[in-house]
Structures are given as structure tokens and as C-alpha cells.
Amino acid sequence: MTVPFVPLNSGARIPQLGFGVYKVPADDRERVVSTALELGYRHIDTAKVYRNEAGVGAAIAASGIPRDELFVTTKLWNSDHGRDAARPAIELSLEKLGLDRVDLYLIHWPVPSKRMFVETWHALEEIQALGLATSIGVSNFLPHHLQPLLDAATVVPAVNQIELHPYYQERDAVAFNGDHGIVTEAWAPLGQGALVDEAGVTAIAESYGKSLAQVILRWHIQRGTIVIPKSVHRERMAENIDIFDFELTEAEVRIIDALERGGRVDAHPDDV
Ligand code: NAD
């Protein structure tokens, strides 16, 4: 099972499929991440606010997988915006993860009401220069957040992680990211499980002997998007990484494109 890599503007590369750990129950973190690593996932997406960085770190340490074969992302939480808070925030995350650097550090939300995301971005530029994060990026930034950041930035964000699934395709944000050399990463790639059996997609899935989730993840992959599906069930985790042995036709991609209905599952970035 070979997960392709996508090049980042930092010179690093990111496995196109990773494992998200949002809402993995406290008593289950290490087992779930260990299972993911066992199944071949090499890219783990966590965040300070998920309160599971220590479990992720313990599973990584127990795996014995060489550090340079792993891609670990964590995120700066909303209470840590600003130059003074950002550096201690990543140091604490690294301590919990048991790592001396992460592969990707993201500003979790722009929190426009604080008017601090440009200052915070400069702190991330320093964090990258110190080697604490190989690549830096943002999450939940829409074009009207990214433009002022880019106007002031020395480093262009490598990644923008946004809510993205067939019911909510964020076409303007994806185009803006692409125009600026920023790779789009989809959170809730399966709509947090809200994607119901759509007749057209079910027929596509049956024709390949794949599940609905596999077809949706394949749709993301063929658009060049990074995906980080989450599950705590071994079978589903195995299913979600088993998407590199079939290819959707253009007509099938268009059937999924047509599912757009503005159906966000979480908050709007201007309201957080
Ligand atoms: P997701 O779209 O990955 O959905 C997860 C849910 O889908 C599971 O709980 C399960 O109910 C269902 N599911 C998973 N695999 C399945 C399968 N094979 N068949 C049927 N159902 C299946 O949603 P998510 O967990 O919210 O997003 C993925 C990751 O993105 C998170 O774990 C986290 O790492 C990240 N994330 C980031 C942000 C952000 O603000 N940056 C927000 C939310 C999530």
C-alpha cells in the first residue's frame, strides 16, 4: 500500500493520506495510533486542543518507526496566538509528543476577532527558522484571512487545512490556495460521517468493490487534496488507507462534484 507524497513549498513532502485523531477517546489514544501505524499510516494529524499529543507520542515511540519515515502535524490553539505565547506552545506540544520537531505546525483557526494572526504567523516563521517545525501552515483560513497574512509574510504557508468534503467543497478557498502555492488539506474528509448513501456514489462504489468512504477519499486524492480521515475501528482504518488500487473516471468525479450543497459540519472560521 503506497501512499503518494505531495511536495510542499518548504521543500519537504507530505504523505497525501494521514490519520486524524480528533475526538479519539482518552483511554484509547495509544492503541488507536499504534493500530494506524501498524496498518501503514505514516502521517498523523493532532492538535494541542485534542489533548492527545502524549498518546500520539507514546505510540510513535513504541512503534520503533524511524523518525524520518513519519510525518507529524500539530496545531497552535486559539489561546496561544501572539509572539509571546506561540513559542512556549510549540515547546509544550513537542514535549508531549516526545519529539524535537514536528513536520508541520499549523495555526488552528485565524480567530479574526483577536486581530493577531499576522503576528502569530511571524512567530511561526521564527519557529520554523529554529528547526522546531520543518513546515508551517494554517488551518481554517479563507482567502480574506490569507491575503493579509501573505501581504506581511516572509514564508508562504505550506498547507491550509480546511473543512472539505463532497457536501462542502470550498471551491474559492481551494482555488486561492492553489494560486499561491499552498497545498489544500481536507479536514472532515468524510463529513464527520455525515455522508449518507448517495445513490450515484453507491453505484460507483459497487462497481469497484469499494465502500462509500473509499470512493469519497479517492475523489479527494484525485483532486490533489491531502486527507486525514479518522476512525477508531481497525477495519475502517484499514479501509480508509486502501484507496490506491483504483481510479475514478472523470464522469464519476463529476457525479461527486455535484453533491455540493453548502453543508458545513463545523463552525465558520469568522465565528471562532
Ligand atoms: P472525518 O470526516 O474523518 O469523519 C470521521 C468519522 O467518519 C468517524 O468518526 C466515523 O464516524 C466515520 N468514518 C470514518 N471512516 C469510515 C468508514 N471507512 N466508513 C464509514 N464511516 C467512517 O472527520 P474528522 O475526524 O472531524 O476529521 C478528520 C481529522 O481532521 C480529525 O481527526 C482531525 O485530525 C482533523 N480536524 C481538523 C480540524 C481543524 O479545525 N483543523 C477540525 C476537525 C478535524
- According to the model, what pLDDT value does residue 1 have? 67
Within 10 A of 194 (CB to CB), how many other CB atoms are there?
12
Task: Give yes or no for a contact between 63 and 57, defined as CB atoms under 8 angstroms apart.
Answer: no
Distance from the CA of 147 to the center of ligand 1, in angstroms?
A: 28
Q: Which of 216, 230, 266, 270 to mutate to test the pocket of ligand 1 (most atoms within 8 A of CB)?
A: 230
CA separation for the pair 252, 157 (Å, rounded):
32
Q: What is the mean pLDDT of each run of 10 residues along the chain (272 residues)?
A: 94 98 87 97 97 94 97 98 97 98 98 97 98 98 98 98 96 98 98 82 96 97 98 97 98 95 92 94
Does ligand 1 come within 6 angstroms of the Cβ of 18? no
| 111 CB within 6 A, ligand 1 | no
26: Cβ–Cβ under 8 A, 6 or more apart, which residues?
A: 51, 52, 55
- Residue 199 is predicted with a pLDDT of 78
At residue 270, the pLDDT reads 94
Do 225 and 196 meet the contact criterion of CB atoms below 8 Å apart? no
Q: Is 89 in the pocket of ligand 1 (CB under 6 A)?
A: no
List of E strands, 149-208: 159-163, 183-187
> Following DSSP, what letter does each residue of 140-154 receive, concatenated?
S--HHHHHHHHHH-S
Q: Whose CA is nearest to atom 44 of ligand 1?
A: 187
106 lines ligand 1 (CB under 6 A): no
Q: Quick one: pLDDT at residue 240?
A: 98
Which cell numbers hold the place of 49?
Answer: 486542543
Q: Which among 22, 41, 50, 167 is annotated as catalytic?
A: 50
184 within ligand 1 shell (Cβ under 6 A) = no
Q: Quick check: CB of 72 below 6 Å from ligand 1? A: no
214: three-class secondary structure by DSSP: helix
What single string gives the DSSP state of each residue in 92-121?
HHHHHHT-S-EEEEEES---GGG--HHHHH
Closest protein CA for atom 18 of ligand 1: 236
Q: What is the pLDDT of residue 26?
A: 76
The Cα–Cα gap between 134 and 193 comes to 32
Spatial contact of 49 and 108, defined as CB atoms under 8 Å apart: yes
CA 22 to centroid of ligand 1, rounded, Å: 7
Tell which atom from ligand 1 comes closest to the C-alpha of 161: 41
Does ligand 1 come within 6 angstroms of the Cβ of 185? no
From 62, 65, 57, select the one nearest 41 (Cα to Cα). Answer: 65
- Give yes or no for a contact between 98 and 57, defined as CB atoms under 8 angstroms apart: yes
Residues in the chain: 272
For the beta carbon of residue 154, count every other beta carbon within 10 angstroms. 9
Give the ligand 1 atom nearest the CA of 139. 41
Q: Among this protein's residues, is 50 annotated catalytic?
A: yes
Nearest to 231 by CA among 3, 25, 63: 25
In terms of pTM, does the model score above 0.95? yes
Q: How far apart are CA 210 and CA 208, in angstroms?
A: 5
